[in-house]
């Protein structure tokens, strides 16, 4: 038996979340059994736990789209008992029991080894949000974006993706502008590396198809009108990395930025990203994101606190990252 957060739902009623004892025999089929040390709360976890969106495909479900821990058993030669591993995505916490529990059984293909120098707590303080931020940075660099081309905008700056993106970009020498609805968090965002703050109210309503050229690139986790306005405000040849939909999954934009300014919109997916890209992202996070920056951007909670904090996360009341100690 082990402890986990279990979601259940009766008919079409909202899901109920309860920390309870779970029999190991109830775990889904997989190649590797992991003793989970830490998980985290991402935006998708908030949707799953609260039922605000149909993220969970079947019930009962252990939510949690990522985790870090130690291998207990493995039938796959790539992993042995005692190996430290990380998991992000692959439908875990949605269609396959996830990381908000003390144990998880998953496919070996979904895991990556813990990079040298990384701990489970630090890995989940970064979590899927931070890993996604690194994928966005990699996408910008793959399209040739350099600091000399001008400032980079990060939307949703106080969120998990945004906060880590600011820290990563600033340490690569970029001038980072941070778009947020919480201007009172200026001190925190500037400590992460932001040079200028942008009120999100200037981006989240319908705007002109082409606007003043302001940014060489952008990392957007918001979508909808915000992303449309970002694209309209990119410099000639600018690149936007889109990875989220906090405002909405629509894109009420025009083709003008793309055909008149040569703007590129690069989609970034963290759920099904191939192994090589995942491993590269985590190796870079281990090297490029200082531990003290991660710690200052992280709140640690107990497993029992996850439902309440998930609701706050969706209301925009959580700053940075949330680390969940599943053994506390």
Question: Which residue is listed with tokens 């916490």?
Answer: 93
Nearest by Cα to 91 from 61, 69, 70: 61
Q: Where are the beta strands (DSSP E) in the chain?
A: 2-8, 16-22, 32-40, 66-74, 84-88, 103-106, 111-113, 152-154, 176-180, 194-199, 215-220, 234-242, 264-267, 298-302, 321-325
- Highest CATH level, class, for 2-114+297-325: alpha beta
Cα separation, 317 vs 94, whole angstroms:
24
**How much of the chain is helix, strand and coil, in % rounded to 5?**
35, 30, 40
| 3-state class (DSSP) for residue 243 | coil
pLDDT above 90: residue 316 = no
The dihedral built from the CA positions of residue 106, 108, 109 and 113, taken in this order, carries a sign that is positive
pLDDT confidence of residue 323: 96
pLDDT digits (tens, 9 = 90+) for 21-71: 999 999 999 999 999 999 999 989 999 999 888 899 899 999 999 999 999
Is the CATH code 3.40.50.720 the one for domain 127-267? Answer: yes
Nearest by Cα to 94 from 59, 135, 67, 57: 57
Report which DSSP code applies to 34: E
pLDDT above 90: residue 184 = no
Domain ranges for the chain, please list them.
Answer: 2-114+297-325, 127-267
Region 183-206: mean pLDDT is 94
Nearest by Cα to 173 from 198, 196, 146: 146
pTM of the model: 0.92
């Amino acid at each position: 038996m082990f402890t986990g957060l279990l979601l259940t739902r009766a008919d079409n009623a909202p899901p109920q979340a309860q920390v309870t004892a779970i029999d190991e025999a109830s775990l889904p089929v997989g190649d590797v059994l992991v003793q989970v040390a830490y998980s985290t709360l991402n935006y998708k976890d908030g949707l799953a736990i609260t039922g605000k969106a149909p993220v969970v495909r079947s019930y009962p479900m252990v939510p949690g789209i990522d985790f870090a821990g130690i291998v207990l058993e493995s039938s796959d030669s790539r992993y042995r008992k005692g190996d430290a591993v990380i998991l992000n995505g692959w439908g875990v916490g949605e269609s396959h029991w996830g990381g908000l529990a003390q144990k998880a059984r998953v496919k070996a293909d979904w895991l990556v080894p813990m990079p040298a120098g990384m701990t489970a707590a630090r890995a989940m303080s970064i979590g899927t949000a931070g890993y996604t931020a690194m994928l966005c940075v990699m996408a910008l660099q793959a399209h040739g974006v350099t600091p000399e081309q001008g400032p980079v905008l990060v939307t949703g700056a106080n969120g998990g993706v945004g906060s880590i993106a600011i820290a990563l970009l600033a340490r690569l020498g970029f001038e980072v502008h941070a778009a947020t609805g919480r201007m009172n968090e200026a001190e925190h965002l500037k400590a992460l590396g932001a040079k200028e703050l942008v009120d999100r109210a200037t981006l989240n309503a319908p705007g002109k198809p082409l606007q003043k050229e302001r940014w060489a690139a952008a990392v957007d986790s918001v979508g909808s009108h915000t992303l449309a306005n970002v694209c309209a405000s990119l410099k000639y040849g600018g690149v936007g990395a889109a990875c989220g939909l906090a405002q909405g999954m629509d894109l009420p934009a025009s083709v003008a930025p793309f055909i008149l300014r040569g703007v590129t919109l690069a989609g970034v997916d963290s759920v099904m990203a191939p192994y090589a890209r995942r491993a590269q992202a985590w190796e870079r996070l281990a090297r490029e994101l200082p531990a003290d920056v991660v710690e200052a951007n992280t709140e640690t909670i107990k497993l029992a606190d996850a439902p309440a904090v998930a609701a706050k996360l969706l209301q925009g009341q959580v700053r940075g990252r949330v680390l969940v100690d599943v053994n506390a």
